[in-house]
């Protein structure tokens, strides 16, 4: 079985008769040979094109010998920090360390360094001074030009420079990595590989570059945040392969970082070829003694059906990484993978998911995209669905029906994000009805993110009235089908544009709904998103207008607490937030109030004590329990299953 995986040691190389590998791939994740992992796709694609690849997974970055275990590669080192940016992998938005890592054997944390692409690149360069280094994956892709780094609160150079790499293969790199491999194999020096789409390179000579657009220099952007916001908007408008041009970012000492236009999107036939490669669909056997790799649990029995997203959420980096044009696999390819899945002894009859970034996108948003590209300065769904939008779920519905009909399949779930405004734009309700009837496990998770239209406009999300229409329709379909299923909304606090006023509005909405989320996502500024640019610059790059940004940790805590105002642990923060927002009317005993005032045991109702008092009498503690929504005797406590249930 081990022979079916790529080599991870000299012994593996000897067994396969490999004296020297063409590529050594250094990765921040454990080695999992499954198409949900970028390193599995890239290594298998190279193998299919005749190149030998070995894997060094999670090397000890403090030991230079850890990078030499497979020897010197003939063509190049490849680097990927993993399926996540290494900083997101390591830290909560509070910048506290995460206690586990789902991409590491046994879930153990700290098996990769912070800023892993940079650390691995420098480790290799110290050891092999003249071997080409190609970096890729989501971390390198989203940091390919100058960017704001939330964790160090600093404006960083292109990761190409800091890692001492020669090239970045950005986006989904199946095409570009093969073109790079072919160029290196033909004898072209890596410094002369400046012509491949989907790559970023460094140079001191611009004489061979034509029709390029020069961005503000790194030094200019570092001094003036407005310059960075303007630069980012140019980058955002140059992410489509049909319309994008070459971008040049100047650095000191005459160095330029040059971004070539993106690779064309993969055709259905090319997508099928990628996903039909001989993946083992699990982690390397050497990890068994630690209990395997936790991340495999959710994706082992899931199917990727598409790539790309034209949803355009401001806080999402998909536009920069996968692009806005939808790419799909054929039904035949997906069914072949499903049939292999069914043969797995651990398969219990449940396909966990069929989707991608957005599950119900199975074709480009309009006919012109494949020839003319997406509109550079216009979104398909925001603020309203475009008149040219083609909202049609026919193909996705047909795929789900075929999967449901496979022998051995009991249930096919849809757990990838459903874009509810696109769902409503489809004049045919058949898919919506069958989604409710067959593809939900009692709860449908959707992402309205907020209810304030002022905040939603900054998020690139539809106005709240659209979400309300979706909920009413969802409820009606459940009633017609005799089902009791619920919607669990994902909500975000402290997104740029959200003041305490909007946070209170969201709390009032949840009060009226009778729902307190178990978890709240505080806005997380990750590289290469519109929202992160807002957070760093205080400007919306689309309009260059000022945006309110909540950066103070205490105010962020108040906004988060308001969403969970019933939790007794949040009482002090909610009280402070309501006073700061001038909403003392929500402190009291009336039905509309969020919390009750504190009172000392034995005092009459309405006699309050100052919020800063250190008194912690039993009556005070009981009052907090009451404010947390404790049911009256004989009453029913509202839980997550009461969400959006008709009253």
User: pLDDT tens for residues 359-403?
Assistant: 999 999 998 888 899 998 899 999 999 999 999 999 999 999 999
Identify whether 636 is part of a domain: yes
Tell me, yes or no, whether 320 and 367 share the same domain: yes
All residues at 6 or more sequence positions from 543 whose CB lies less than 8 Å from its CB, including other chains: none
**To the nearest 10°, the Cα dihedral for 553, 556, 562, 565?**
-40
Contact indicator for 539, 314 with CB cutoff of 8 Å: no
Q: Which of 422, 441, 460 is the last residue of a domain?
A: 441
Tell me, yes or no, whether 386 and 525 share the same domain: no
Q: Phi and psi at residue 151, in whole multiples of 5°?
A: -70, -30
Tell me, yes or no, whether 588 and 461 share the same domain: yes
pLDDT, greater one: 516 or 277: 277
Identify whether 279 is part of a domain: no
- pLDDT for the residue numbered 368: 87
Contact indicator for 525, 533 with CB cutoff of 8 Å: no
Tell me, yes or no, whether 430 and 452 share the same domain: no
Tell me, yes or no, whether 368 and 454 share the same domain: no
Identify whether 156 is part of a domain: yes
pLDDT digits (tens, 9 = 90+) for 257-269: 999 999 999 999 9
CATH number of the domain where residue 384 is located = 3.30.750.210
Tell me, yes or no, whether 452 and 370 share the same domain: no
Tell me, yes or no, whether 436 and 478 share the same domain: no
Distance, CA of 85 to CA of 115 (rounded, Å): 8
Distance, CA of 308 to CA of 321 (rounded, Å): 8
Distance, CA of 606 to CA of 495 (rounded, Å): 36
Strands 167-169 and 199-203: antiparallel
- pLDDT for the residue numbered 311: 93
pTM summary value: 0.91
CATH number of the domain where residue 177 is located = 3.40.50.280
Tell me, yes or no, whether 542 and 492 share the same domain: yes
pLDDT digits (tens, 9 = 90+) for 555-577: 999 999 999 999 999 999 999 99
Mean of all residue pLDDT scores within the chain: 92
Beta-bridge partner residues of 154: 149
Domain range enclosing 479: 446-647
Tell me, yes or no, whether 46 and 18 share the same domain: yes
- pLDDT for the residue numbered 1: 55
Residue 634 has pLDDT above 60, yes or no: no
All residues at 6 or more sequence positions from 200 whose CB lies less than 8 Å from its CB, including other chains: 144, 145, 158, 160, 167, 168, 170, 257, 258, 259, 260
Tell me, yes or no, whether 573 and 628 share the same domain: yes
Distance, CA of 403 to CA of 332 (rounded, Å): 11
Residue 614 has pLDDT above 60, yes or no: no
- pLDDT for the residue numbered 609: 40
Identify whether 228 is part of a domain: no
Identify whether 229 is part of a domain: no
Contact indicator for 240, 261 with CB cutoff of 8 Å: no
Distance, CA of 189 to CA of 347 (rounded, Å): 48
Buried b (16+ CB within 10 A) or exposed e, 242-277: bebebbbbbbeeeebbbbbbbbebbeeeebbbbbbe
Crossing angle for the helix pair 394-404 and 331-342, to the nearest 10 degrees: 30
Q: How many domains does the chain have?
A: 3
Residue 599 has pLDDT above 80, yes or no: no
Rounded CA Rg of the chain? 26
Q: How many CB atoms lie within 10 A of CB 429?
A: 16
Tell me, yes or no, whether 451 and 420 share the same domain: no
Q: Which of 417, 441, 465 is the last residue of a domain?
A: 441
Identify whether 19 is part of a domain: yes
Tell me, yes or no, whether 595 and 640 share the same domain: yes
Identify whether 286 is part of a domain: no
Residue 228 has pLDDT above 70, yes or no: yes
- pLDDT for the residue numbered 631: 38
* Structure tokens that stand for 404 in this block: 């449901």
Distance, CA of 526 to CA of 314 (rounded, Å): 11
pLDDT band at 520 (very low <50, low <70, confident <90, very high): confident
Q: Which of 441, 459, 486 is the last residue of a domain?
A: 441
Identify whether 451 is part of a domain: yes
């Amino acid at each position: 079985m081990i022979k079916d995986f790529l080599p991870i040691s000299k012994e593996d190389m000897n067994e396969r008769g490999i004296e020297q590998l063409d590529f050594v791939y250094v990765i921040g994740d454990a080695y999992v040979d499954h198409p949900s992992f970028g390193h599995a796709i890239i290594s298998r694609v190279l193998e299919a094109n005749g190149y030998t690849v070995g894997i060094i997974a999670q090397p000890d970055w403090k030991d230079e010998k850890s990078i030499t275990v497979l020897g010197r590669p003939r063509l190049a080192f490849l680097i990927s920090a993993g399926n996540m940016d290494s900083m997101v992998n390591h830290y909560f938005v509070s910048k506290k360390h995460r206690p586990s890592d789902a991409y590491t054997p046994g879930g153990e944390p700290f098996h990769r360094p912070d800023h892993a692409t940079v650390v691995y690149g420098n480790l290799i360069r110290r050891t092999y001074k003249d071997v080409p280094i190609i970096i890729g994956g989501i971390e390198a892709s989203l940091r390919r030009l100058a960017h704001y780094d939330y964790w160090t609160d600093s404006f960083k150079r292109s990761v190409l420079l800091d890692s001492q790499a020669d090239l970045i293969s950005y986006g989904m790199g199946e095409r570009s990595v093969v073109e790079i491999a072919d160029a290196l194999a033909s004898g072209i020096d890596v410094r002369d590989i400046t012509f491949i789409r989907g790559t970023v390179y460094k140079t001191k000579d611009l004489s061979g570059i034509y029709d390029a657009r020069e961005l503000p220099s790194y030094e200019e952007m570092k001094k003036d945040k407005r310059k960075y916001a303007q630069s980012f908007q140019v980058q955002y408008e140059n992410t489509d392969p049909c319309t994008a041009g070459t971008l040049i970012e100047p650095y000191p000492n005459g160095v330029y970082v040059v971004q070539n236009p993106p690779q064309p999107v993969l055709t259905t036939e090319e997508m099928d070829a990628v996903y039909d490669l001989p993946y083992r669909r699990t982690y390397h056997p050497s990890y068994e003694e630690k209990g395997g790799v936790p991340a495999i649990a959710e994706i082992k029995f899931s199917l990727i059906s598409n790539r790309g997203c034209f949803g355009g959420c401001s806080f999402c980096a998909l536009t920069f990484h996968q692009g806005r044009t939808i790419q799909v696999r054929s039904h035949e390819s997906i069914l072949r993978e499903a049939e292999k899945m069914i043969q797995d002894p651990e398969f219990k009859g449940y396909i966990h998911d069929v989707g991608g970034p957005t599950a119900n996108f199975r074709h480009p948003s309009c006919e012109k995209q494949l020839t003319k590209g997406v509109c550079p300065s216009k979104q398909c769904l925001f603020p309203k669905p475009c008149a040219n939008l083609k909202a049609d779920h026919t193909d996705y519905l047909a795929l789900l029906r075929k999967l449901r009909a496979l022998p051995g399949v009991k249930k096919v779930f849809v757990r990838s994000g459903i874009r509810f405004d696109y769902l409503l734009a489809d004049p045919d309700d058949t898919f919506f009805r069958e989604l409710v009837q067959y593809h939900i496990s009692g709860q449908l998770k959707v992402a309205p993110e907020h209810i304030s239209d002022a905040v939603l406009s900054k998020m690139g999300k539809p106005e709240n009235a659209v979400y309300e229409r979706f909920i009413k329709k969802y409820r009606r379909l459940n009633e017609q089908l005799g089902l009791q299923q619920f919607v669990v909304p994902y909500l975000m606090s402290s997104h740029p544009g959200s003041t305490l006023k909007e946070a209170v509005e969201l709390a009032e909405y949840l009060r009226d709904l009778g729902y307190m989320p178990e978890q709240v996502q505080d806005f997380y500024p990750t590289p290469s998103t519109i929202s992160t640019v807002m957070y760093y610059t205080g400007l919306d790059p689309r309009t260059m207008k000022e945006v309110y940004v909540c950066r103070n940790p205490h105010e962020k805590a108040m906004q988060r607490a308001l969403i969970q105002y019933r939790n007794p642990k949040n009482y002090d923060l909610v009280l402070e937030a309501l006073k700061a927002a001038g909403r003392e009317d929500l402190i009291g005993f009336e039905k509309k109030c969020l919390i009750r005032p504190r009172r000392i045991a034995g005092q009459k109702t309405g006699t309050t004590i100052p919020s800063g008092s250190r008194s912690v009498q039993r009556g005070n503690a009981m009052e907090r329990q009451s404010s947390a929504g404790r049911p009256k005797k004989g009453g029913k406590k509202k839980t997550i299953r009461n969400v959006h249930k008709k009253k």
